[in-house]
Amino acid sequence: MKVIAFNGSPRANGNTQRALRMALDELEKEGIETELVNIGIEPVAPCQACGACRKAKDGKCKITDDRVNEFVGVSNEYFRYPPRNTF
């Protein structure tokens, strides 16, 4: 399992990042892989409700020039095809 935390705060090393880091550190102590993604200083495009992600075989958004959409396809795949015995 891997836990990805998204920090939307524009302040580098601010309270939000510190809190996320503390939570991720605890997960790492339990042997869980983690990643902290700082998106607060990067442009994030809003959903255009175009439905391209539903039509695409890979489930990815047509917007490719923002950091968040790197993860959208991953989460879409999880919810379309969840691992057994998780819900």
Range of the domain at 2: 1-42
Number of structural domains found in the chain: 2
Q: Please tell me whether residues 37 and 60 are part of one structural domain.
A: no
Say what the pLDDT of residue 35 is: 92
CA–CA dist 65, 6 (Å, integer)? 17
pLDDT in tens, 14-51: 999 999 999 999 999 999 999 998 888 887 777 788 88
Q: Please tell me whether residues 9 and 19 are part of one structural domain.
A: yes
- pTM of the full structure: 0.62
CB 63 within 8 A of CB 48: yes
Q: Please tell me whether residues 47 and 80 are part of one structural domain.
A: yes
